[in-house]
Structure 1
Amino acid sequence: MKAWQALADWTGIVGLGVVAIGLLVGAALTGWTAVPLSLMATGLALVVVWGLTHRKEVSLFLGLRSTQTNANILVAAAAMAVILVLLNVVAVRYDLRLDLTEEGLFTLSPQTRQLVQGLAQPMKVWVVTTAPDPNLREQLERYRRLNPERFQFEFVDPNRDPLTVQRLQVTQNNTLVVESGNNRQQLPQPPAPELESKLTPVLAKVVNRGEVVAYFVQGHGEVSLEAREGTPTLAQAVAALGQEGYRVEPLNLVQSQIPEGADVLVLAGPQRALFPGEVEKLQDYLAKGGRLLLLIGPRVDAGLDPLLEEWGVVLGDDFIIEVSSVSQLLGTGPAVALVTTYGDHPITAPLAEQRLMTLFPLARSVDTEVREGIQATPLLRTSPQSWGETSPNLEAGPLQFDPDQDKPGPLTLGVALTRQVKGDQKTSESQEGPTEARLVVIGNVNFALDGNLRQQGNRDLFLNTLNWLTERTEQISIRPKSITDRRLAVTGQNFRWLVLGSTVLLPLVALGSGAVLWWQRR
């Protein structure tokens, strides 16, 4: 009892009170200045004085069982507080996050990381909105952490800062403005999960400035560039190129010459042979350092023999058949070539690194022969369980490998070729232009068609190919993924069964189980 009376001595109580006041003032009011530190020092001095003058009572108090129990509780609570503080410090410093979404929507793609980390000059994203979205702020913060020195963002309220909104030339609320130097691009504010897929292409446009023109050769039954109901088109591929900073234009080689500003030509799925004069134009274009992409499907004679012979490219007269276990697992069918093995080339390096698969419905093999001055690199290789079917009629019977006629796998269905440009073949204005011609030949066009383009790594393969041809190596990467629409379609009858099961059947099951248990235990 005397020990408890000693603890009530005013010296110790006042000392503890002064320490508490110092902590409160320093943490909530003035910060850790001289005033709170002086209060804490004074309080600790009073507590020490109380302890020195009441050593016997303190010893008696510490020997009580209740004191030891309470001390253990206090130590455990203090240890837990220290652990929580350390965990928060580690979380703030290292920002470790786990993305459990199927598409990795909250993990920045390799293209975004490569683009932001490689910024050569400061870039700022302005978010003009009257109601800032915290999720959007968090997503932009991910961008900023990649390059804090050169990437910044700021939310602007048009009602509070109309001058900034006027300078940015924004006329609508919920608008994002990407600004770098004298370049500026606007886009409507997307939902936070879709920010990367919408924002990163705009960042690429601002960084790369000028527009690249891609001409698609037309007039021989090539795949249409515009969406048409019931017909496979390249509309999605054209839209993807637009996001990459390309301007797509059709080109008829019979009616016009190849424009001087043509950065790349694409011949996508011709069904009829080109005229000899058209092929000569393509050859002259390559001789001057041009860039050409050929997407030629099976059993099609595009009339390109002189060009292919010059470059040492041989298009196989076959259909690639795939019967690997992966094909059976995916259920794609034997006529869809699956590629998981890639050549050592900048186009396919990101695909190999991310272990992405590419799919090619109805493809043909592509081989190469040695030509002086031409360097050829295989891009796409099928599995050993594939072969090149040479039978003219695939529907005549079951598909079986014929060692006497068919080509055994693995097969190459895409190659990239380069050739140095001779000085006397350059035009007078292009002495400082391309130093080498580039050609990519893929024995398939279906992989780039609407629907197929978004399968696995098909889109990245197509865009990386164009970026390599035009020497936009900074954009060769794996692009952000979009949200997969997974809606559950429920018919009227299914909805009635759902309501009946949740409101009637489940309660009856619960009541019946309870009644059985009661009957067994009574």
Structure 2
Amino acid sequence: MGNTARTTLVTRIQTVVFVLLLLTTAGMLAWLSEHYRISADWTAAGRNTLTEPSRTLVQRLDSPIEITAYVREDPLLRRSILQLVERYQRYKPDIRLRFVNPDHVPDEVRARNISTDGEMVVRYRQREEHAKIASEEALTTALERLARADTRWVTYVSGHGERDLVGTASYDLGKLGEQLQRQGFKLHELTLAEAGEVPAQAAVLVVSPGRENLPAEEVAAVLRYLEQGGNLLWLAEPGPARGMEPVADVLGVAFEAGVVVDPTTQVLGIAHPAFVPITAYPSHPVTENLHLVTVFPRAAGIAWVQPQGWRTRGILSTGLRAWSETGDLKSALQFDDDADVSGPLDIGIAMQRTLAANDERADDTSPGMDEVGPLTRPWPREQRIIVIGDGDFLSNAYLGRGSNLTLALNIFNWLANDETLIDIPVRSAPDQDFELSRTSAALIRIGAMFGLPALLLATGFFIWHRRRRL
């Protein structure tokens, strides 16, 4: 009897000690999990770890990074974004992520030009870039653009009444300039009469018509810039080329007389036929992610021939029922076979060519180098030009219409050779298939149906028999 009581006491003490040790261990593990984080990627190809280019880039960014993911209440999508960002946080802990339901902040969504569910806005040193999809390629590309923002100069010609990228008037481009700076571009006003040449740091030169014709010596500077491989955005208007005729001749473009009109605009709720909507887009990096209509007030049609060595194509074209109206827009519009030009008309074209190895601009790698380790690239070897027969669509008055802002940012990213994703190597498991023979499958089924229950019964019987003996 005494032995039985003593055994029971020892058993209870052992149970209490075991529970205390278990609780202490669980508490210590909980505390360690809050203060220390250890992760390991056991996949064969390291699919859950950042690639070497991404790691090197992240470790060189010396300021905090804020990522805002605009996601609806979708647990799977939010989890995939969280897991992606956690890969970066292992190498840069000061990356902060927050989720925002776009349905709750419509004004913020419009202000930041959010177009897809799951789109991320990456903020670094007061600048912003967008990652459209939750992938390492997209996020690392956004970070790279932010890291080398100072190398992306947007130089715009001024001095003759041209549109101002920091101006506040309705015809100016100040709102676009703000967006470009948030995207990491550096704005540079250029007075060619004083500078004489376009600076070598210019990633993109913007030319818009002013109130006066561009003087011949300044046009010559633009031509020299193009000969050296510079990228150009020419925002033309209906009417004369304002001194830019030599540039038009070199590029093989001519502007149709009159103003493009489209009588079908009323279907889209546009009252004036000179506000031309574009609803269909070709497959091109500038237009590939445009989902809404773009609107072009008072545009000029462009006729073009492809100069030798260039690849030219239309990227913004009107519908079949549009035409270039040479008459008075205030009177009733009617197509004139003798004076007007029928549609479809190109109002925007893109040109590109590969620079020769002996081109001065192609050999100059100093202005456009990106000092972020393995992502370092020389100045682009491809020259790009966009000519659009309208500048109003980028103005403060119309930038917010439809997809105008998205188109504008696409144009500048393409011209600055920043439209492509960083090449992140695809990593996959060497063998993702698990195949069983019929015999093995039958043994597993028999084991699950009879073996496991028998094992549980035997274990229970053993424990019962042992306790009975005690």
User: Quick check: TM above 0.5?
Assistant: yes
SS in 2 for 1:206: helix
State the TM-score, normalized to the length of structure 2.
0.61
CA shift at 1:358, angstroms? 0.5
Q: Given the alignment, which residue of 362, 366, 389 partners 2:298? A: 362
Moved over 6 A (4+): 122-128, 135-141, 184-192
Question: Is the aligned partner of 1:417 residue 2:351?
Answer: yes
- CA distance in structure 1 between the aligned counterparts of 2:88 and 2:364, rounded to whole angstroms: 41
User: Identity of paired residues, percent?
Assistant: 26
Partner of 2:269: 330
SS in 2 for 1:341: coil
- In structure 2, the CA distance between the partners of 1:379 and 1:180, relative to structure 1 (3 Å rule), is farther
2:323–2:343 CA contact under 8 A, matched in 1:
yes
CA shift at 1:408, angstroms? 0.6
Moved more, 428-437 or 412-421: 428-437
SS in 1 for 2:276: strand
- CA distance in structure 2 between the aligned counterparts of 1:368 and 1:428, rounded to whole angstroms: 26
1:340–1:381 CA contact under 8 A, matched in 2:
no
SS in 2 for 1:438: strand
Over alpha carbons, which structure has the higher Rg?
1
Question: Is the aligned partner of 1:145 residue 2:66?
Answer: no
Q: Given the alignment, which residue of 329, 348, 351 partners 1:394? A: 329
CA shift at 1:149, angstroms? 4.0
Partner of 1:405: 339
Partner of 1:433: 379
CA shift at 1:413, angstroms? 0.2
RMSD: 4.2
CA shift at 1:475, angstroms? 7.6
CA shift at 1:180, angstroms? 7.3
2:71–2:99 CA contact under 8 A, matched in 1:
no
CA shift at 1:374, angstroms? 1.3
- CA distance in structure 2 between the aligned counterparts of 1:375 and 1:398, rounded to whole angstroms: 39
Partner of 1:273: 213
SS in 1 for 2:314: strand
1:377–1:417 CA contact under 8 A, matched in 2:
yes
- In structure 2, the CA distance between the partners of 1:322 and 1:415, relative to structure 1 (3 Å rule), is same
Partner of 1:375: 311
SS in 2 for 1:248: strand
Mapping of 1:58-457 within 5 angstroms?
120-121=54-55, 145-146=80-81, 148-151=83-86, 193=105, 194=108, 197=112, 200-202=121-123, 204=129, 206-208=143-145, 209-211=147-149, 212-228=152-168, 231-256=170-195, 257-324=197-264, 326-351=265-290, 354=291, 356-391=292-327, 393-395=328-330, 397-426=331-360, 430=364, 433-457=379-403
Q: Relative to total residues, which structure has the larger helix share, 1 or 2? A: 1
1:376–1:415 CA contact under 8 A, matched in 2:
yes
CA shift at 1:382, angstroms? 0.6
- In structure 2, the CA distance between the partners of 1:272 and 1:475, relative to structure 1 (3 Å rule), is farther
1:347–1:465 CA contact under 8 A, matched in 2:
yes
CA shift at 1:471, angstroms? 0.8
Matched to 2:121, the amino acid is T
Q: Deviations over 1:455-487 (max 9, x none)?
A: 1110011110110011111489xxxxxxxxxxx
- CA distance in structure 1 between the aligned counterparts of 2:156 and 2:98, rounded to whole angstroms: 30
- CA distance in structure 2 between the aligned counterparts of 1:290 and 1:127, rounded to whole angstroms: 32
1:344–1:377 CA contact under 8 A, matched in 2:
no
CA shift at 1:146, angstroms? 3.3
- In structure 2, the CA distance between the partners of 1:220 and 1:141, relative to structure 1 (3 Å rule), is farther
2:64–2:95 CA contact under 8 A, matched in 1:
no
Q: Deviations over 1:358-384 (max 9, x none)?
A: 100111001211321111010111111
Matched to 2:160, the amino acid is H
- In structure 2, the CA distance between the partners of 1:436 and 1:226, relative to structure 1 (3 Å rule), is closer
- In structure 2, the CA distance between the partners of 1:361 and 1:281, relative to structure 1 (3 Å rule), is same
- CA distance in structure 2 between the aligned counterparts of 1:429 and 1:380, rounded to whole angstroms: 33
CA shift at 1:436, angstroms? 2.6
CA shift at 1:224, angstroms? 2.4
- CA distance in structure 1 between the aligned counterparts of 2:393 and 2:232, rounded to whole angstroms: 18
Question: Is the aligned partner of 1:469 residue 2:405?
Answer: no
CA shift at 1:451, angstroms? 3.2
Matched to 2:417, the amino acid is E
Partner of 1:90: none
CA shift at 1:422, angstroms? 2.8
- In structure 2, the CA distance between the partners of 1:280 and 1:255, relative to structure 1 (3 Å rule), is same
- CA distance in structure 1 between the aligned counterparts of 2:80 and 2:97, rounded to whole angstroms: 22
Partner of 1:16: none
- CA distance in structure 2 between the aligned counterparts of 1:270 and 1:342, rounded to whole angstroms: 29
CA shift at 1:344, angstroms? 2.8
- In structure 2, the CA distance between the partners of 1:269 and 1:141, relative to structure 1 (3 Å rule), is farther
1:215–1:264 CA contact under 8 A, matched in 2:
yes
- CA distance in structure 1 between the aligned counterparts of 2:184 and 2:209, rounded to whole angstroms: 23
Matched to 1:425, the amino acid is D
Matched to 2:80, the amino acid is R
CA shift at 1:283, angstroms? 1.6
1:144–1:152 CA contact under 8 A, matched in 2:
no
Matched to 1:206, the amino acid is L
- In structure 2, the CA distance between the partners of 1:321 and 1:307, relative to structure 1 (3 Å rule), is same
- CA distance in structure 2 between the aligned counterparts of 1:149 and 1:201, rounded to whole angstroms: 13
Number of equivalences = 328
Gaps of 5+ in 1: 1-28, 31-115, 155-178, 477-522
CA shift at 1:273, angstroms? 1.7
- CA distance in structure 2 between the aligned counterparts of 1:127 and 1:370, rounded to whole angstroms: 45
- CA distance in structure 1 between the aligned counterparts of 2:349 and 2:306, rounded to whole angstroms: 13
Q: Deviations over 1:252-284 (max 9, x none)?
A: 111102111111111134332211221221122
SS in 1 for 2:358: helix
